[in-house]
Structure 1
Amino acid sequence: MKENRTYDQLFGDLEQGNGDPSLVLYGEGVADNHRKMAREFVLLDNFFASGGNSGDGHQWVTQANETSYALWPAYQGRSYPYDGTDPIAYSKAGFIWDAAVAKGKAVAVYGEFAPRQRVPAQERQKLFERWKQGEKFSNVWKSRSDIPGLQQVLVPDFPTYSTSIPDVIRADIFLEDLAQWERRGQMPALTILQLPSDHTFGTQPAVSTPTAMVADNDLALGKVVEGLTRSPFWKKMAIFVVEDDAQNGVDHVDGHRTVALALSPYVRRGSVDSTFYAHQSMLKTIELILGLEPLTIFDLIANDMRACFTDIPDFTPYTAVEPKQDLFERNPDARALTGAAKKAALASALMRWDVPDAVPSEELNRILWHNAKGWQTPFPGVRQSVFAPMSVDRED
């Protein structure tokens, strides 16, 4: 589970898919593993996020539904239910992990839908330095949930949401557990892993640049996938990667079209699948693989992703690549900037980053666009051709 990128921002210049090269923000040198996986496995160029922000995106990904409380929020004076702390946002049918446990499946949830980790943004660079020195982080953070079913399967030593914690650290913690599973010869039937760094801090001074944070997310994903595909479990594995929402971002098709990946020995290698998919499609496919019943009518009627698959396996493992982008790159101090760049840096510094998507979406989209394309390059606006994404504004 990742945070908030559109298809065109990462894949817009991949010739085999339906992309717009002019809208790429994080292409070669930044999101190299995402792009390599899309080329080597299957490129999904018609996959849409069902939610418009984290307040409903995480509900759709984990429940195939969102309650009317989250759907019609007028957020003033109410909770922002992205992290499982408000029971009014729980769907009656429960969560995907509940369905798996009810069928006797072993489940491990790494960070998803649990209360956020409170780590200051300025700690990110310090954590990077400790990671660079080879420090292990398995016992640094503790996670818990008030949802009984989630608490039962939540990995306690893995951090929950915080973009202050580099994703490469999350990857290393997960890979330590994978090594233990390999020694035991058994891993959970369902594993959910959160990697949120691609959300970015905008251009907030003295913290990681947007490109560095996307590259961190990319390298972490590459390391996780390489580890899984080189494990003895790969022969019977499917890995699904998706953003919780697309942040109402720049995309020539629609602000909901997002980055999604399907990886398995049974995926049609080097193919393009332009079937209309959404979060419910991915959940439905997981349910079919694990023998679970649909959670709601939405995953019941959704297109499953069987068009991605074949019955002829290719067990070739994935080899991760290190992005050329410097993971340690920082945004400049506002005093070193002028004009629009300085205004964006000061605006980013005032935004609330400790909660996913609690920043004004359109303003952040503009900042990320100009940071990548130049401050004189006109912002192309947001396309709304499928349905209107629900973004977050300052008054929310």
Structure 2
Amino acid sequence: QWPITYGGQSASERNYAYIPSAGNIWDAAKRKGLTYRSYGEYAARVSDGTTFDNSPNAPGLAGHVAPHYKRMGARDTANAAEFIREFDEYEKNYESKDPNKRLPNFMVMALSENHTNGTRPGSYTPVAMVASNDLAVGLIVERISHSKYWPETAIFIIEDDAQDGPDHVDAHRTAGLVISPYVKREKVDSTMYSTSSMLRTMELLLGLPPMSQYDAAATPMYLTFGDKADATPYNHLEAQVDLNAKNTARAWGARESKKMDFDDVDRNAPFVLNEIIWRSVKGADSRMPLPVHSYQFK
């Protein structure tokens, strides 16, 4: 998928060639008889005003998508509230013998505000949208960690397309979070993991086999976990910035942002949007650092 878009082709030019032959992790979960649910990931709707209960690019998610969780066009805090509403029902059914009434074994969630709307006039500022994303994560972790499901839960969080956001640190890195009673508290694990490492760790916890050579060869995140549980729950921190701050027509990049398509993620030129976000946060006169390439091939 991404080599196609990196080549300059638009989302409309993508095709089914990039769908993995072994399916996705939820397909592997289905083969093992596990329950699963998607909150926003690969979710789609037939038309404006309808629920997000379709998944044309991920057939395995059909019937497993949270319909009132909005993939795009909603605050992440609102989506967190929708997830918590469903989670409350799962906790009421904690003792149920029906696996479809209990918390699914595997869940995938997209919190999309981190992508921002650039500096499009009238849209929330990049700082406000990222802060909403942070608060949503805090609210979700707080609710789960205060529940009966907490002792047997692991939450993995990673940025979308983290390889495409250069700053003062190598663009081939990102922050990855793992949250669980069995995770070592207040520890930074600097092992050279990859996104496949995170996927492989999930597979091991769920008892799933690797789906390709990439996750089979990936380093599991063993050092992140300990052998003793600390079930102390988390409490969220309130945002320290104005979540309702909006861009003005005078913001740097406002004119370019008005031309961009924010109806879905990854529809705009990454470098252009990255620079708009950078200057919005660091100042209009600040220069975004360029990627440094160690090797050049001709």
- Say whether the 8 Å CA contact 1:253–1:383 is kept in structure 2: no
Question: What is the aligned-residue RMSD (CA, Å)?
Answer: 2.4
Match of 2:12, SS state, is coil
- Say whether the 8 Å CA contact 2:120–2:257 is kept in structure 1: yes
Show structure 2 runs of 5+ residues with no match: 95-101
The 5 A counterparts of 1:1-396 are 55-56=1-2, 70=3, 74-76=7-9, 79=12, 81=14, 86-115=15-44, 141-146=51-56, 147-160=58-71, 162=72, 164-185=73-94, 186-246=102-162, 248-332=164-248, 334=249, 337=250, 341-342=251-252, 344-384=253-293
Using CA pairs under 8 Å that are at least 6 residues apart, name the structure with larger relative contact order, 1 or 2. 1
Deviations along 1:117-138, whole A, 9 cap, x unmatched?
876xxxxxxxxxxxxxxxxxxx
Deviations along 1:224-280, whole A, 9 cap, x unmatched?
010111110100111000112126213333223123100000001111101111111
- Amino acid of the residue matched to residue 32 of structure 2? K
TM-score (norm 1): 0.68
After TM superposition, the structure 1 stretch with the greater mean CA deviation from structure 2, 286-295 or 144-153, is: 144-153
- Say whether the 8 Å CA contact 2:75–2:113 is kept in structure 1: yes
- Amino acid of the residue matched to residue 273 of structure 2? L
Distance, in Å, in 1 between the alignment partners of 2:173 and 2:45 is: 26
When residues 387 and 154 of structure 1 are mapped into structure 2, their CA distance, relative to the original with a 3 A threshold, is farther
Deviations along 1:288-311, whole A, 9 cap, x unmatched?
001000010000000110110000
- Say whether the 8 Å CA contact 1:255–1:383 is kept in structure 2: no
Query: Counterpart in 1 of 2:98?
Result: none
- Amino acid of the residue matched to residue 381 of structure 1? L
- Amino acid of the residue matched to residue 211 of structure 1? V
Cα drift, residue 109 of structure 1: 1.0
- Amino acid of the residue matched to residue 301 of structure 1? A
- Say whether the 8 Å CA contact 2:120–2:255 is kept in structure 1: yes
- Say whether the 8 Å CA contact 1:116–1:355 is kept in structure 2: no
When residues 166 and 213 of structure 1 are mapped into structure 2, their CA distance, relative to the original with a 3 A threshold, is same
Distance, in Å, in 2 between the alignment partners of 1:368 and 1:78 is: 22
- Amino acid of the residue matched to residue 59 of structure 2? P
Match of 1:273, SS state, is coil
When residues 140 and 168 of structure 1 are mapped into structure 2, their CA distance, relative to the original with a 3 A threshold, is farther
Cα drift, residue 312 of structure 1: 1.0
Distance, in Å, in 2 between the alignment partners of 1:309 and 1:171 is: 26
When residues 380 and 361 of structure 1 are mapped into structure 2, their CA distance, relative to the original with a 3 A threshold, is same
Match of 1:181, SS state, is helix
When residues 346 and 227 of structure 1 are mapped into structure 2, their CA distance, relative to the original with a 3 A threshold, is same
Distance, in Å, in 1 between the alignment partners of 2:187 and 2:294 is: 25
- Say whether the 8 Å CA contact 2:37–2:61 is kept in structure 1: no
Give the aligned length. 289
Cα drift, residue 371 of structure 1: 1.1
- Amino acid of the residue matched to residue 158 of structure 1? Y
Cα drift, residue 101 of structure 1: 1.0
Deviations along 1:83-121, whole A, 9 cap, x unmatched?
xxx4222110101001011111111111102337876xx
- Amino acid of the residue matched to residue 209 of structure 2? E
- Say whether the 8 Å CA contact 2:184–2:224 is kept in structure 1: yes
Deviations along 1:309-333, whole A, 9 cap, x unmatched?
000111011100111111111001x
When residues 255 and 77 of structure 1 are mapped into structure 2, their CA distance, relative to the original with a 3 A threshold, is closer
Show structure 1 runs of 5+ residues with no match: 1-54, 57-69, 120-138, 389-396
- Say whether the 8 Å CA contact 1:118–1:354 is kept in structure 2: no
Paired-residue identity, %: 39
Query: Counterpart in 2 of 1:42?
Result: none
